[in-house]
Structure 1
Amino acid sequence: MNLSDPHEELHTQRRLNTSQQLWYWHVVAASVRGTSHEKVGQLCQDAHHWQKLPKGVLVAAVGDGAGSATLGKVGAIVATQTAVETIVEALCRESTLQLPEEEPDWQLLLTKALEAAKTAVEAEAVVCKMKARDLATTLIIVVATPKLIAAVQIGDGLAVACDRQGNMIALTAPQHGEYINETTFLVSPNALNTAQVTLWRGSTSNIAVLSDGLQMLALDMGQGKPHEPFFSPLFHFMAEVKDENEAKDQLGAFLRSPRITERTDDDLTLLLATLIS
């Protein structure tokens, strides 16, 4: 005989449903050619790539091919795609999603993605009969879940998180050499030793990953913090997204608008993601 209270069973099931809450990401991204490259007929050297996984996990990458590199665009494409695919393969072993638990495990995962991306770019250079520096690119990788974000960066650009209380967190910061326009590239000597690695734990709401063409607009250079007036409207825009393809067109138009191009002539990449429950 079952003596359990049916009302208690209902409450228990509701608690289970809450604890197993389903999450998914809206992702909108665009890479557009800067006006300086338009004038000389050069292609956009930026690239981005992402993949959504179960349980509200997002893997994303942004690369900015060096303007001086003959095949910088190719390097950025190869690096971003390889980085994302390497992490997805590592997380989805035996057809089940397995996330690292401790910080050293996350660092190892991100380092392996960097190493794989670097190796892939160098291999592509051999195929193209070029030197690795001819495919030079920066690389930012982000793995975002409802409760934490892991990020790694080589070179300039920026990754930003926003929690459910509206607080904005700089996950990474632009890397410069001796001069403001110098940076480290994935194929640079000792590049992996200069990588920034961040593991942030909190209630994830939004992320943004951008190439260096936008960082003067997106970063409070004096304090090294995300410029809230830049990000807040973008995250509000993401909260209203219904069609990601339509939103991508709108984002591309925003990046090509005078309010942006009057302040920067570089190639621009912006990847935005909002976690929905």
Structure 2
Amino acid sequence: MAWHVCAAAAIGRSHVDGGLPCQDAFARTCEGEVLIAVVCDGAGSQPRSHEGAQALSADVVASIAARVRDGAIAPSATLEAMTACGRDAIAAARAALAVRATEEGAALAHFAATLVGVVADRDGGWFFHVGDGVGAALDEAGACTVSLPENGEYANETFFVTGDEWEAHLRVCPIVGPVATVLLMSDGAMPFAMAKDLASPYRAFFDPVVRYLASVDAESGSQALLGTLSDPRTDTITSDDKTLLVA
């Protein structure tokens, strides 16, 4: 069954107040029945992290999509193959960003961003993850596989693709199908989109959103999702940028 993908990124109140751009970004595509998607969250402390998030998400999705198209990787691949594919795609995107930074007289760290991505069909797949944010996959009964955020010593610390130790923090989480719904989100969406224990989506938010998105086309659904994420009521929950992808 084809994927119906809706996604949006909304600027957070703290970014509006501070004159900063939205530093989240996402990219997604489908190769036949395979979904490839990435959400990146740029570091608030870095001046060009929004550019890093945009470049990393787009490049990683394009790289993995090409491998899926060529038959080099599939959602049913082994953990070893999954890990190698995610690592190679991220490494190539990171290297391209490093070249850009050098050419423009910037530090690679200026483009710092986290990354959570998915490659899946309806029979299963895998999440790949560096830093915070969440990936979740649910079956029709609501059973959930979650790729959890990784933070540092403190809750507001995390790890970035641009960091020297990024490979040590690359995590791959297999998804056992059947898969009804896939979610990717930045940490700004987590407080209202995930249950407090992060074991599953927050059903009071998730269920009506998914029902509505299924009733409209992807473009209309993405616009509606942007409206939900931009609702001023979310500012009482989080001041951060908020990105949510629902497939």
Task: Tell me the TM-score normalized by structure 1.
Answer: 0.84
SS state at 2:97 partner = helix
For residues 36 and 90 of structure 1, the distance between their equivalents in structure 2, rounded to whole angstroms, comes to: 39
Give the number of aligned pairs: 246
SS state at 1:92 partner = helix
Determine whether 1:253 maps to 2:233. Answer: no
Residue correspondence of structure 1 range 41-80 to structure 2 within 5 A: 41-54=19-32, 56-80=33-57
For residues 92-117 of structure 1, give each alpha carbon's deviation from its aligned partner in whole angstroms, at most 9, with x where no partner exists.
12xx6862532222221112122122
> Unpaired runs of 5+ in structure 1?
1-22
Structure 2 counterpart of 1:174, from 126, 129, 149: 149
For residues 73 and 22 of structure 2, the distance between their equivalents in structure 1, rounded to whole angstroms, comes to: 36
> How far did 1:26 drift?
0.7
Whether the 8 Å contact between 1:122 and 1:132 is mirrored in structure 2 is yes
SS state at 2:44 partner = coil
Structure possessing the higher radius of gyration over alpha carbons: 1
For residues 209 and 157 of structure 2, the distance between their equivalents in structure 1, rounded to whole angstroms, comes to: 28
Q: Paired residue for 1:107?
A: 83
> How far did 1:142 drift?
0.5
Decide whether aligned partners of structure 1 residues 142 and 223 sit closer, same or farther in structure 2, where only a CA change above 3 A counts: closer
The letter of the residue matching 1:45 is: Q
For residues 59 and 222 of structure 1, the distance between their equivalents in structure 2, rounded to whole angstroms, comes to: 27
For residues 224 and 125 of structure 1, the distance between their equivalents in structure 2, rounded to whole angstroms, comes to: 38
> Unpaired runs of 5+ in structure 2?
none
For residues 25 and 197 of structure 2, the distance between their equivalents in structure 1, rounded to whole angstroms, comes to: 28
SS state at 1:138 partner = strand
> How far did 1:119 drift?
1.3
Q: Paired residue for 1:6?
A: none
Q: Could you tell me the percent identity over the aligned residues?
A: 30
Decide whether aligned partners of structure 1 residues 109 and 207 sit closer, same or farther in structure 2, where only a CA change above 3 A counts: same
For residues 206-233 of structure 1, give each alpha carbon's deviation from its aligned partner in whole angstroms, at most 9, with x where no partner exists.
1110001112223334464433333222
For residues 29 and 156 of structure 2, the distance between their equivalents in structure 1, rounded to whole angstroms, comes to: 31
Determine whether 1:208 maps to 2:208. Answer: no
Task: Tell me the TM-score normalized by structure 2.
Answer: 0.93
Whether the 8 Å contact between 2:9 and 2:24 is mirrored in structure 1 is yes
SS state at 1:200 partner = strand
SS state at 1:43 partner = coil
> How far did 1:118 drift?
1.7
Q: Paired residue for 1:11?
A: none
For residues 107 and 78 of structure 1, the distance between their equivalents in structure 2, rounded to whole angstroms, comes to: 21
Q: Paired residue for 1:136?
A: 112
Determine whether 1:150 maps to 2:126. Answer: yes
Q: Paired residue for 1:122?
A: 98
For residues 257 and 98 of structure 1, the distance between their equivalents in structure 2, rounded to whole angstroms, comes to: 39
